[in-house]
Amino acid sequence: EAGVAQSPRYKIIEKRQSVAFWCNPISGHATLYWYQQILGQGPKLLIQFQNNGVVDDSQLPKDRFSAERLKGVDSTLKIQPAKLEDSAVYLCASSAQLLGKFNYGYTFGSGTRLTVV
Amino acid sequence: QQPVQSPQAVILREGEDAVINCSSSKALYSVHWYRQKHGEAPVFLMILLKGGEQKGHEKISASFNEKKQQSSLYLTASQLSYSGTYFCGTVGRGSTLGRLYFGRGTQLTVWP
């Protein structure tokens, strides 16, 4: 079974620039997540999709972050404009989990390491 | 609602045992455990859904005390490959969205 694919692997940008990350989840997984992991901390949920609908974006800084999941498969996370504090690893994960049925683990991609200078 | 993990770091010799604890201030629906090696993605180890449940994965097992809102991960006869950061994640009971909150992690180092 293919894993969760993410690109790019690394990205260095200057503050106030924009950046986009791409994720392709495991085939058949309805739920897709974007997490932010700051060095030395656990992953923090940014947004959760079920199929192509947003389930939870309460922790997404909507003034600068946006995400979409077209056709319920691939997803893109964008930051515009970036700030220094956005430097982190951005992890995409997918799961067979559905609303009301939280019995499944998550499969994470390798992440994109973003450095904002 | 972030769970608290302890200890923050553990250093072991190969063959020794370790216990990592995870506790929450909220009632829990489930507990997840993940291992993350440096520069890699977190890897799912197991999920515990019921109070009193215990699960095993080779020499790694876990328990879930629903009443105390705690879970423990047991690593027996540790191997070099067990090195990494272990995260617990919790889903609160009554959660409608199933949001998973991760702890800050426990860094495990196994020396030969």
Q: Convert the pLDDT of each residue in B30-76 to its tens digit.
A: 999 999 999 899 999 999 987 767 666 678 999 999 889 999 999 99
Does the N-terminal peptide bond of residue A81 adopt cis geometry, omega within 30 degrees of 0? yes
Best mutation target among B99, B101, B104 (most A Cβ atoms within 10 Å) is B99
Whole-number average pLDDT of chain A: 93
Which chain B positions have a beta carbon within 8 Å of A25's beta carbon? none
Do residue B47 and residue A107 have CB atoms under 8 angstroms apart?
no
Give the distance from CA B35 to its chain's centroid: 8
Instruction: Give the pLDDT of residue B82.
Output: 95
Return the ∠ at Cα B93 (arms to A38 and B44), rounded to 5°. Answer: 45
Give the whole-angstrom CA distance, residue B28 versus residue A70.
33
